[in-house]
């Protein structure tokens, strides 16, 4: 061609080379650890065939809907053409299809049908795990829907929301409802007790009308919501603080004129990520509602919802990590640099392997939560299981939320410059991950929740933790290939036990400063034990052993490493403050 006068890049020619894009294959079939975990614990043909078929559909069809949700984000129409206030949140066709799909696939229902007994939650969450990164953030309303169903069920299906429960857990698209979770007000999303200004005015029929301003309400196209407010007494007075909060159920409905009953949508938030989903500011102006909790028991009553949504959050975090690893490893088979494919550059593959190890540890943590939840809901949970579920829920949420950002950020880099290009769909993954450590309790707030549950259980949750990790390690004592990992986890566990005893005598300020590192240590040690345990399974592969060994090379008990530098002592707080405000 050169002889014939061919000039590459001349005029309209843009060069002959085009980079292959990474291809999403069936996310169930591609996930060795997920399949292994299920083969070990839930080897039901029905589960495998359902997840295989769903995975195929995700790769072939649904993933593009997810992208469509991002490209066509929701918008708010305040007024109709004739000036009437309508407050319509207009969502994309793809977002609506996600709702139908979620119902048909039973993404909430599976957890309540309990066809697989104590393993039903593992099945449900496995399905959500492969769905989440393709869901266009529909995973968010599903989390809140599941959480609302759990609350309603746990308070004994009161008649006023029996119908709602049926809808939240329905597989029929035309019946299926989603729920919101309106807790955050302008004065505080973490400090709900002081921050809630919404008042509930009692009506003569026993119901209430809510007046207040909800500052963050996600997936606001929901059919109902659970929310917190202060019930007024007969003199119109309310009780301040957390003790004045009650839990309310409200339906989102329109009157004969098409106007929202008791709600004005002030605006939709402009967000770093989660743009696929509407997040609104709502003025509640006489919203009809029913009180579900005893007066003053609002926070304790919504805690069941928090447990479920925090587990969903963890599932989504690990799902994001898994997805970026799947795409990155595919890309490494297509991209050639310095004369060979990326997959043949050991340093690149080492980077991918480190992401894989992080993902595996996080995955087993999340599945452990689902296992414990399933046991609790089937009435099989021992006291130890119940303690573990309470302790691990904040630990796993906070740990995986942070890990997701780190792993997905590394994942983007593995595509080079293309990882930064908007219409590859990759940057959205990082944006969406960033929220996972903020909503449903920030990292610090959840670290303090760990202290709360330790204190409220008089240390029993930690006792359960130590007992269980030791039993996992005991099962591996005869497996020589795992000896270094078992030693590392065992050593870290002893250090942690010692730390807990010393810290308890130091008082609350010391514990507060240690709480975040404590939570990280709890997560790393437990994940190490789970990786070891999984590698001991008779059908485990050598890769499972390798993953356990690699995980356990890191500082597993960083609370002790940090303690040695004295950074939790009372003298540190003014030093930190001085440094920050210099
Ligand atoms: O962000 C939100 C939605 C986002 C969209 C959905 C995403 C879902 C994932 C999707 C993935 C893609 S909704 C807003 C979420 N907001 C939060 O998470 C609030 C964060 N703040 C906290 O968690 C605080 O620690 C508070 C609000 C719980 C603190 O409240 P109090 O009242 O000051 O705390 P107290 O006094 O310590 O606790 C009051 C009661 C106690 O019960 P009793 O009185 O029986 O001892 C506590 O034991 O509540 C109980 N309690 C709990 N129980 C408090 N926290 C818990 C808990 N986590 N589990 C069980
Ligand atoms: P703050 O509490 O002001 O936190 C600021 C900083 O202070 C954080 O770093 C935090 O860790 C730290 N901090 C707070 N307390 C302590 C403490 N005691 N010790 C040490 N550090 C502390 N809420 C809903 O109710 N419903 C929704 O649907 C919803 N959707 C959301 C969607 C998006 C996209 C986002 C971003 C938020 C959403 N939220 C929703 C709100 C979210 O739950 C809150 O933003 C979150 O809980 C944090 O509360 P805050 O914004 O008041 O932050």
Three-state SS annotation for 101-163: HHHHCCCCHHHHHCCCHHHHHHHHHHHHHHHHHHCCCCHHHHHHHHHHHHHHHHCCCCHHHHH
Q: Is 192 in the pocket of ligand 1 (CB under 6 A)?
A: yes
Query: Measured between alpha carbons, how far is 507 from 570 in angstroms, rounded to an integer?
Result: 10
Ligand closest to Cα of 147 equals 1
Q: Is 183 in the pocket of ligand 1 (CB under 6 A)?
A: yes
- Ligand 2, pocket-test mutation among 242, 438, 443, most atoms within 8 A of CB: 438
254 is written with which tokens? 């329109």
Segment 321-332 mean pLDDT: 98
CA 440 – ligand 1 centroid, Å: 8
Residue 268: strand, helix, or coil:
strand
pLDDT higher than 50, residue 129 = yes
- Tell me: the pLDDT tens digits for 341-354? 999 999 999 999 99
pLDDT on residue 192: 96
Under DSSP, the state recorded for 226 is E
Confidence band for 1, pLDDT divided at 50, 70 and 90: very low
Confidence band for 3, pLDDT divided at 50, 70 and 90: low
- Tell me: the pLDDT tens digits for 138-168? 999 999 999 999 999 999 999 999 999 999 9
Ligand closest to Cα of 148 equals 1
Residue 341: strand, helix, or coil:
strand
pLDDT on residue 18: 84
**What's the Cα-to-Cα distance from 418 to each of 324, 333, 411, 578, rounded to whole Å?**
13, 16, 11, 42
Query: Measured between alpha carbons, how far is 289 from 300 in angstroms, rounded to an integer?
Result: 19
Q: Is 242 in the pocket of ligand 2 (CB under 6 A)?
A: no
% of the chain exceeding 70 in pLDDT? 99
Q: Is 215 in the pocket of ligand 2 (CB under 6 A)?
A: no
Whether pTM > 0.90 for this model: the answer is: yes
CA 192 – ligand 2 centroid, Å: 10
Determine whether 578 is exposed, middle or buried from the number of CB atoms within 10 Å of its CB (0-12, 13-18, 19+): exposed
Q: Return the ∠ at Cα 46 (arms to 50 and 115), rounded to 5°.
A: 105
Segment 390-417 mean pLDDT: 98
Ligand closest to Cα of 516 equals 2
Query: Measured between alpha carbons, how far is 232 from 529 in angstroms, rounded to an integer?
Result: 50
- Tell me: the pLDDT tens digits for 259-286? 899 999 999 999 999 999 999 999 999 9
pLDDT higher than 90, residue 40 = yes
For residue 282, the cross-strand partners are 214, 265
**Helix (DSSP H) and strand (DSSP E) numbers for the chain:** 20, 11
Pick the residue whose CA is nearest to atom 42 on ligand 2: 439
Pick the residue whose CA is nearest to atom 37 on ligand 2: 439
Query: Measured between alpha carbons, how far is 438 from 404 in angstroms, rounded to an integer?
Result: 12
- Tell me: the pLDDT tens digits for 218-257? 999 999 999 999 999 999 999 999 999 999 999 999 999 8
Is 98 within 8 Å of 138 (Cβ atoms)?
yes
Q: Is 231 in the pocket of ligand 1 (CB under 6 A)?
A: no
Q: Is 189 in the pocket of ligand 2 (CB under 6 A)?
A: yes
CA 299 – ligand 1 centroid, Å: 6
In ligand 1, the atom with minimum distance to the C-alpha of 192 is 27
- Tell me: the pLDDT tens digits for 301-320? 999 999 999 999 999 999 99
Pick the residue whose CA is nearest to atom 49 on ligand 1: 300
Cβ-proximal residues to 506 (8 Å cutoff; 6+ apart), any chain: 568
Q: Is 500 in the pocket of ligand 1 (CB under 6 A)?
A: no
CB 404: neighbour CB atoms within 10 A? 30
Pick the residue whose CA is nearest to atom 1 on ligand 2: 190
Query: Measured between alpha carbons, how far is 257 from 234 in angstroms, rounded to an integer?
Result: 33
As for the ipTM of the complex, it is 0.99
Query: Measured between alpha carbons, how far is 31 from 21 in angstroms, rounded to an integer?
Result: 20
Determine whether 378 is exposed, middle or buried from the number of CB atoms within 10 Å of its CB (0-12, 13-18, 19+): middle
Average pLDDT over the chain, rounded to whole? 96
pLDDT higher than 90, residue 397 = yes
Confidence band for 541, pLDDT divided at 50, 70 and 90: very high
């Amino acid at each position: 061609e050169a002889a014939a006068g061919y000039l590459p890049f001349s005029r309209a020619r843009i060069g002959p080379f085009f980079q292959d894009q990474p291809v999403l294959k069936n996310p169930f079939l591609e996930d060795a650890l997920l399949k292994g975990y299920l083969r070990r614990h839930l080897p039901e043909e029905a589960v495998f065939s359902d997840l295989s078929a769903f995975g195929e559909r995700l790769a072939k069809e649904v993933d593009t809907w997810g992208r469509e949700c991002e490209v066509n984000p929701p918008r708010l129409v305040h007024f109709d053409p004739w000036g009437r206030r309508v407050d319509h949140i207009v969502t994309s066709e793809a977002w609506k299809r996600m709702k139908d799909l979620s119902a048909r696939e039973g993404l909430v229902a599976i957890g309540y049908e309990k066809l697989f007994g104590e393993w039903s939650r593992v099945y449900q969450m496995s399905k959500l795990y492969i769905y989440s990164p393709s869901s266009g953030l529909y995973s968010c309303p599903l989390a809140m829907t599941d959480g609302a169903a759990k609350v309603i069920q746990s308070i004994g299906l009161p008649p006023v929301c029996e119908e709602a429960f049926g809808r939240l857990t329905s597989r029929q698209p035309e019946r299926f409802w989603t729920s919101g979770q309106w807790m955050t007000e302008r004065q505080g999303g973490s400090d709900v007790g002081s921050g809630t200004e919404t008042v509930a005015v009692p009506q003569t029929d026993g119901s209430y009308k809510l007046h207040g301003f909800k500052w963050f309400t996600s997936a606001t196209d929901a059919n109902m919501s659970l929310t917190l407010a202060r019930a007024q007494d007969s003199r119109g007075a309310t009780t301040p603080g957390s003790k004045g909060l009650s839990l309310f159920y409200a339906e989102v409905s329109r009157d004969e004129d098409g106007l929202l009953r008791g709600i004005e949508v002030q605006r939709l938030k402009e967000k770093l990520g989660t743009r696929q989903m509407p997040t609104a500011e709502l003025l509640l102006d006489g919203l009809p509602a029913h009180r579900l909790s005893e007066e003053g028991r609002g926070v304790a009553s919504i805690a069941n919802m928090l447990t479920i949504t925090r587990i969903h959050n963890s599932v989504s975090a690990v799902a994001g990590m898994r997805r970026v690893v799947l795409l990155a490893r595919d890309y490494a088979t297509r991209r050639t640099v310095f004369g060979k494919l990326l997959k043949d550059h050991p340093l690149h593959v080492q980077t991918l392997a480190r992401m894989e190890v992080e993902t595996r540890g996080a995955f087993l943590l999340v599945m452990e939560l689902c296992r414990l939840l399933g046991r609790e809901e089937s009435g099989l949970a021992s006291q130890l299981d119940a303690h573990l579920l309470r302790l691990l829920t904040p630990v796993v949420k906070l740990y995986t939320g942070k890990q997701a950002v780190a792993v997905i950020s590394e994942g983007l880099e593995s595509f080079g410059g293309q990882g930064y290009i908007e219409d590859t769909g990759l940057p959205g993954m990082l944006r969406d991950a960033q929220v996972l450590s903020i909503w449903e309790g920030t990292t610090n707030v959840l670290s303090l929740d760990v202290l709360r549950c330790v204190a409220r259980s008089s240390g029993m949750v930690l006792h359960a933790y130590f007992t269980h990790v030791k039993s996992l390690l005991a099962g591996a004592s005869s497996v020589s290939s795992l000896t270094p990992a078992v030693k590392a986890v065992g050593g870290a566990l002893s250090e942690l036990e010692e730390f807990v005893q010393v810290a308890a005598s130091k008082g609350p300020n010391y514990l507060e400063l240690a709480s975040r590192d404590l939570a990280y240590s709890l997560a790393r040690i437990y994940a190490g034990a789970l990786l070891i345990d999984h590698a001991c399974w008779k059908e485990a592969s050598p890769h499972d052993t390798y993953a356990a060994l690699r995980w356990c090379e890191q500082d597993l008990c960083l609370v002790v490493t940090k303690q040695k530098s004295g950074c939790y002592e009372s003298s540190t707080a003014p030093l930190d403050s001085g440094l920050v405000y210099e």
